[in-house]
């Protein structure tokens, strides 16, 4: 069963995930690792967390850098699902 996403205001999102930026109706964060292998391992862990929530990010990887963008397409904006996934990613 697909759960309906709960729309959240930008101010609420900033309170819940203060280390993430809001850019063009998306949550954004850049992570830098020592090497490509560590970055790739991080991406795999993000995939596992994403599957648990059935909510999937946009991931850009360049060598040791991983850039994550989160949004909820069904509402064309940000929701509680984005916050949950952002928190899961921060806990990896």
* pLDDT at residue 4 in the model: 82
Q: Is 5 within a domain?
A: no
What is the number of domains present in the chain?
1
Q: Is 35 within a domain?
A: yes
Q: Are 69 and 28 in contact (CB under 8 A)?
A: yes
* pLDDT at residue 50 in the model: 98
27: three-class secondary structure by DSSP: strand
Q: Is 84 within a domain?
A: yes
Residue 51 belongs to domain spanning: 18-90
* pLDDT at residue 11 in the model: 97
Q: Is 8 within a domain?
A: no
> pLDDT tens, position by position, for the chain (92 residues)?
456 899 999 999 999 999 999 999 999 999 999 999 999 999 999 999 999 999 999 999 999 999 999 999 999 999 999 999 999 999 99
């Amino acid at each position: 069963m697909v759960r309906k996403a709960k729309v959240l205001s930008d101010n609420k999102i900033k309170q819940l995930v203060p280390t993430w930026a809001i850019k063009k109706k998306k949550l954004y964060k850049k992570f830098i690792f020592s090497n490509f292998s560590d970055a790739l391992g991080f991406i795999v862990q993000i995939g596992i967390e994403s599957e648990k929530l059935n909510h999937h990010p946009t991931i850009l990887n360049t060598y040791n850098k991983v850039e994550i963008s989160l949004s909820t397409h069904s509402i064309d904006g940000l929701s509680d699902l984005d916050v949950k996934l952002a928190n899961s990613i921060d806990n990896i």
